[in-house]
Amino acid sequence: MLAQEIIRIKRDGHTLARPHIDSFVKGLVDGSWSEGQAAALAMAMFLKGMRRDETVALTQAMTHSGLVMDWSSAKLNGPILDKHSSGGVGDKISLMLAPLVAACGGVVPMISGRGLGHTGGTLDKLGSIPGYNATPDVATLHHALQAAGCAIIGQTADLAPADRRLYAIRDVTATVESVPLITASILSKKLAAGLQGLVMDVKVGNGAFADSLDMASTLAESLVQVAGGAGLPTRAWITDMNQVLGHTAGNALEVLEAVAFLKGQATEPRQLEVTRRLSAELLLMGGLATDEAEALQKIDQALQSGRGLDQFSRMVTALGGPADFVDRPTHYLASAPVTLAVPAPRSGFVTGMATRDIGLAVVELGGGRRLASDTVDPRVGFSDFAQIGQAVQAGEPLAVVHAADVASAERARASLLSLIHIGDTAPELAPVLVKYITV
């Protein structure tokens, strides 16, 4: 089947049949489609759109372009569950959710990514833990899941390889922002992980890929419906990303906050609500609770009893990190040599944040990537963020900068002062859980 004929069909706005899509995905993997041909079809898909059945076919073809995990030999006692976020600033939910769900009987093999652009990556956060192996062999992964019930790792070379090549092409051809292509990219990796249930956290707001509720709803509905069509039960929550989630943004700082959360010491209300509801959704999908009230109660018990913290500790140890990491996280996590408070320029109420720009400020400090090849400094970022609606006095800290040197700390402080807004009256607070999407 000629590549140019498949491109022509989509260029002219027609529907691609499954054999067309299978041929395209095969060409991505074996190299029989050139970069130019793959880019041309990606642009045609971007401009002409894709029907739901086309997106299901693309998702399934990319899923089966490489290894599909089979957990039958791993001797795991629980449903295979996972959560995925569309990305934000300060979003460390995965670090708390995975061990809490594991503490309630779920098994969470979470394949996560590294940060690019203004969003932080879960693997970069865990990479700040000495010895943590995010690319374990199969035996080590099985051991981690048996010992801890969860393992947060990176995508291996043989998992959905067609997606890896297509994403690299989309990244340099301005075709990333396509809902069908985003859907197929996310779900192909999740389906290849052999899941039995998935919950999606689709962010909306000025720090999210989807800056409007309509756009977030379109993406969430696509993910839920295509996943269902491909055989993976999926539900989604649209959650607010108009401010930093929690009190920190930056890799080691977010790990510290996650550990404190699991110890019951840093339960910022918005962060707690998102973690509880997404975790409870997975318990319901896995048959580990009969209704929402029971699911929330089980998550609360796992948090309050310390069982979630214990599962996190087991995961870190099983994947090569220190056995006493949760007892002495500040001993193991590198800290920035320079800290600088960002004083409020006036008294009033925090009324808003330019959240995406705050994420970019973390990148400027060295805590993120402009290019996939960039090295990340795990020490840098921001902590102690004031929350929207909080009353502040002139001179009180709005946040604390953690930087590698004085000059970059001062630049970050000046930047942050323009990105956190203060007004005379308290704003109306938006809910963090915006909309629930199911089939």
75 is catalytic: no
70 catalytic per annotation: no
189 is catalytic: yes
Catalytic entry in 190, 298, 379, 413: 190
323/71 Cα distance (integer angstroms): 26
Catalytic pick among 170, 203, 270, 276: 170
Point out the catalytic residue in the list 185, 239, 355, 383.
185
Residue 83 among the catalytic residues:
yes
Query: Measuring CA to CA, which residue among 184, 233, 163, 178 is closest to residue 210?
Result: 178
Question: Quick check: is 84 catalytic?
Answer: yes
Across the beta sheet with 391-392, what order do the strands follow? 391-392, 348-353, 420-423
- Residue pair 435/360 in contact (Cβ under 8 Å)? The answer is no
Structure tokens belonging to residue 39: 């880019």
Point out the catalytic residue in the list 20, 164, 165, 189. 189
Candidate list 20, 55, 65, 84, residue with the active-site label: 84
Catalytic pick among 83, 270, 277, 298: 83
Active-site pick, 63, 65, 85, 313: 85
Active site residue 114: no
DSSP-based three-state secondary structure for 294:
helix
Residue 82 among the catalytic residues: yes
Q: HSE, CB side, 13 Å, CA atoms: give it for residue 53.
A: 7
Query: Pick the catalytic residue: 23, 65, 94, 122?
Result: 122
Alpha helices per DSSP H over 286-397: 292-305, 307-318, 329-332, 355-362
- Angle at CA of residue 28, ends 13 and 58, nearest 5°: 50
Count of CB atoms situated within 10 Å of the CB of 78: 18
122 is catalytic: yes
| Catalytic (active site) residue 48 | no
Estimate to the nearest angstrom the gap between the alpha carbon of 217 and the chain centroid.
Answer: 17
Catalytic residue IDs = 82-85, 122, 170, 185, 189-190
